[in-house]
Amino acid sequence: MGRIIKWLIYLLILGGLVLVAYAYVGPYFGADFSPPQTEVRKPVTLDAD
């Protein structure tokens, strides 16, 4: 039982490292992580009584 937990911890650490590496290296391979940049204008009615 202890070996299974130890391997699961190893897999979680490895998965985290792979995720961080993908975040850094992904833009070089065409993965775009930036949000779409569009201007949003909404009218606001101020009602100060």
CB 15 within 8 A of CB 8: no
Asked whether the CA dihedral 34, 35, 38, 43 is positive or negative, the reply is negative
Domain that holds residue 7: 1-31
Task: With CA atoms as reference, report the closest residue to 23 among 33, 34, 15, 14.
Answer: 33
Q: What CA–CA distance (Å, rounded) separates 49 from 47?
A: 6
Domain presence at residue 44: no
pLDDT digits (tens, 9 = 90+) for 6-36: 999 999 999 999 999 999 998 888 888 888 8
- Give the three-class secondary structure for 28: helix
Whether residue 5 is contained in a domain is answered as yes
- The band of 49, judged by pLDDT with boundaries at 50, 70 and 90, is low
Number of compact structural domains in the chain: 1
* Stated pTM of the model: 0.60
Cα(45)–Cα(6) distance, rounded to whole angstroms?
59
